[in-house]
Amino acid sequence: MNDFEALFGCPPAVTADAPGRVNLIGEHTDYNGGFVLPTAIPQRTRVDLAPGTRSSIRVWSRAIAKKADPQSYTLGEETPGRDWLDYIQGVTHILAAEGFPLAGFDASIESTVPLGSGLSSSASLTVSLMRALRSAFALDLDDVQIALLGQRVENEFVGARVGIMDPMAASLADEGTALFLDARSLSYERVPLPAGADLVVLHSGVVHKLTGGDYNTRRRECEQACALLGVPQLRDLSLADLSHVNVLPEPLARRARHVITENDRVLGAVEAMHAGDLARLGKLFYASHESMREDYQVSVGEIDLIIDLARAEPAVYGARLTGGGFGGSVVMLAQAGMGHAVAERIAQDYAARSGCQPRILVPELSAD
């Protein structure tokens, strides 16, 4: 008997999953209408689900609940403030509000995407759950709709004012390509990952939480900058407008400068990937991190230490903080065939210097 049957007394009717993501470049640009470049990672969230006929919903999570009993609530009586269960409640609340036919269900959740890692564990959860519900209740939902509804779950129910990148990546990205996404139009292109480089993702061991005040504060600051500059979104500005941006009061000038220059870096990164120019791509990674550290001010000392260690590695083309910041993970590009060795060296040196316990996520050096 598997966990689901032991918990709920019957086998699951459907199983669905969705990946976490690492953003190669384009941080804090999506909610400003800009460009992003994420790719899927091997770690995924899986949902096993059995539909019911009543309105009772029972959910169990291996990562969070461990051996505890399933959490439960009643469809139509969702109440924010129940920690991880808010993501489940948010999905059913939003789907019902949009007129999708739901009934009660039992669900178990298992994820290998580390929480607070900057790798979109929450979007991986909401997308995988909606995929399971789509199958169980024959919902007329396409992958882009799932992403848009997933964003609403976090914005409107959970209280994290995230952009569209994470749910779009969880719903549309794959491991072989980067998803070049225009967050305003939702148009996208899959760009092959560079054949001459290994992707490395190292979790710092410092956990972040996007529902905290700092993330939402950054978004408000961008909106304030737009109001002073007279534009709907920072996407409407280019490098030619930096002279106007630089006279804004601080920290608004810094915030706007990061978004404008980061959008330009994403476009440059796509060009570099198409051209196979790994040296240029690496420089853009480092420039992006400097902008996040100095202008957007979302890095922390532990992340900066990993970047410094990466700079000392001749086999590393570039490295940067990935995700919302205030902890989380670093993404690096290393010479092909060197990713394993580089990841191990940096992780060991970082652990010795910081006292933190890093985790190598890509390449997967050991089973979870």
Task: For residue range 124-180, list pLDDT tens digits in order.
Answer: 999 999 999 999 999 999 999 999 999 999 999 999 888 999 999 999 999 999 999
- Which domains, from first to last, does the chain contain? 3-189 (3.30.230.10), 194-362 (3.30.70.890)
Please compute, for residue 348, the number of CA atoms within 13 A of its CA located in the half-sphere on the CB side.
6
- For residue 361, give the H/E element and its range: strand 359-362
Task: For residue range 276-308, list pLDDT tens digits in order.
Answer: 999 999 999 999 999 999 999 999 999 999 999
CB 9 within 8 A of CB 236: no
Percent of the chain with pLDDT over 70: 96
Closest CA to 361 of 10, 22, 13, 5: 22
Percent of the chain with pLDDT over 90: 86
For the chain, the average pLDDT equals 94
Q: 304 CB contacts (<8 Å, ≥6 apart)? A: 293
Going by pLDDT thresholds of 50, 70 and 90, the confidence category of residue 366 is very low
Going by pLDDT thresholds of 50, 70 and 90, the confidence category of residue 65 is low
Q: Looking at the predicted structure, is the pLDDT value of residue 333 above 70?
A: yes
DSSP output for 36-97:
EEEEEEEEEEEEEEEE-SSSEEEEEEHHHHTTSPPEEEETT---S-STTHHHHHHHHHHHHH
Query: Is-catalytic flag, 308?
Result: no
The two structure tokens encoding residue 134? 């789509």
Per annotation, catalytic residue among 166, 198, 277, 295: 166
Going by pLDDT thresholds of 50, 70 and 90, the confidence category of residue 368 is very low
Task: For residue range 36-51, list pLDDT tens digits in order.
Answer: 999 999 999 999 999 9
Going by pLDDT thresholds of 50, 70 and 90, the confidence category of residue 214 is confident
Q: Looking at the predicted structure, is the pLDDT value of residue 367 above 50?
A: no
Closest CA to 29 of 237, 201, 175: 237
How far is it, in rounded angstroms, from Cα 123 to Cα 169? Answer: 8
In 138-185, which residue ranges form alpha helices assigned H by DSSP? 143-152, 165-172
- Residue 216 pLDDT: 86
Query: pTM for the whole thing?
Result: 0.92
Q: Looking at the predicted structure, is the pLDDT value of residue 211 above 90?
A: no
Q: 218 CB contacts (<8 Å, ≥6 apart)? A: 28, 255, 296, 298
- Residue 213 pLDDT: 66
Going by pLDDT thresholds of 50, 70 and 90, the confidence category of residue 210 is low
Closest CA to 106 of 141, 133, 144: 133
Task: For residue range 308-321, list pLDDT tens digits in order.
Answer: 999 999 999 999 99
The DSSP letter of residue 328 is: -
Closest CA to 259 of 314, 289, 222: 222
The DSSP letter of residue 155 is: I
